């Protein structure tokens, strides 16, 4: 079930990268970032580690940007098998983008590279299993799946928290059990209410409740852009 969701989700999020729904892609990054930070805290990691995982959560799908041109113009629909192969390159592409920038730690880069590995070895890109999967990537895997399940998608409504957790329990072989148990503890803690509010707002498109800039505001912000509108 989660594998199917994952496939549809890759499809959806790729379409986000090439369509107008950038807002959803950004909301997803923020949510995974928030969850990864909190889960790292739950696991007793240092402050620095938690912040790095927040960065990794925000950037985990950055590789999809390099696939946008390949599927330019696609809105919805299922990716063909050939296209899925390209889609599965996004963790490696993300790794290359972050590595080339020279600004990101090994923890962030390897977490992004392996964020689709499943604990039982059924994930990608390298079919790593159990402790072979970098620690940060195992954190992202739990957070990414939960974030996807509790978010609206063009092909289904968001699942509520209890349903999402139940679905994850059914496929718990995909996750590091220790991390999943910590995640559940976190998800039913009072502190988690703030995250749930963000999820509700994102599903109602209230996260970025700012009107697009008017032509006048844009001109004031960036002197000399008036000619663009001439
Ligand atoms: Fe991904």
CATH number of domain containing 9: 1.10.3210.10
Query: Over the stretch 48-58, which tens digit does the pLDDT of each residue have?
Result: 999 999 999 99
pLDDT of residue 210: 75
**13 phi and psi, to 5 degrees?**
-70, -25
Protein residues near ligand 1, an ion, with CB under 5 A: 61
Are 67 and 17 spatial neighbours (Cβ–Cβ below 8 Å)?
A: yes
- Rounded distance, CA 144 to CA 179, Å? 13
- 16, 28, 29, 186 from 62: Cα distances, Å: 12, 12, 9, 26
How many domains would you assign to the chain? Answer: 1
Structural domain that includes position 44? 2-229
Distance between Cα 222 and ligand 1 center (Å): 34
pLDDT of residue 71: 55
Distance between Cα 60 and ligand 1 center (Å): 6
Distance between Cα 88 and ligand 1 center (Å): 8
pLDDT of residue 87: 86
- Rounded distance, CA 29 to CA 173, Å? 24
- At 171, list the tokens: 């496929």
Q: What percent of the chain has pLDDT over 70?
A: 82
- At 161, list the tokens: 């928290």
Q: What is the pTM of this model?
A: 0.84
Confidence grade of residue 169 (pLDDT, cut at 50, 70, 90) = very high
Q: Work out the average pLDDT over 13-29.
A: 67
């Amino acid at each position: 079930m989660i594998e199917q969701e994952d496939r549809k989700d890759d499809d959806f999020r790729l379409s986000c990268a090439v369509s107008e729904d950038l807002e959803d892609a950004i909301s997803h990054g923020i949510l995974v970032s928030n969850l990864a930070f909190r889960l790292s805290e739950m696991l007793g990691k240092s402050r620095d580690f938690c912040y790095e995982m927040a960065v990794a959560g925000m950037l985990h799908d950055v590789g999809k940007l390099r696939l946008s041109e390949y599927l330019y113009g696609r809105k919805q629909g299922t990716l063909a098998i050939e296209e899925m192969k390209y889609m599965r390159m996004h963790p490696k592409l993300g790794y290359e983008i972050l590595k080339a920038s020279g600004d990101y730690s090994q923890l962030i880069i390897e977490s992004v590279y392996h964020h689709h590995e499943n604990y039982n070895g059924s994930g990608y890109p390298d079919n790593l299993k159990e402790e072979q999967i970098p620690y940060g990537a195992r954190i992202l895997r739990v957070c990414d799946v939960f974030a996807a399940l509790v978010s609206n998608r063009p092909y289904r409504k968001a699942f509520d928290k209890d349903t999402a957790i139940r679905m994850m329990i059914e496929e718990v072989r995909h996750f590091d059990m220790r991390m999943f148990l910590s995640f559940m503890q976190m998800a039913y803690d009072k502190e988690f209410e703030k995250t749930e509010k963000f999820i509700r707002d994102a599903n109602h498109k209230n996260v970025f409740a700012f009107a697009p800039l008017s032509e006048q505001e844009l001109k004031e912000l960036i002197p000399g852009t008036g000619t663009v509108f001439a």
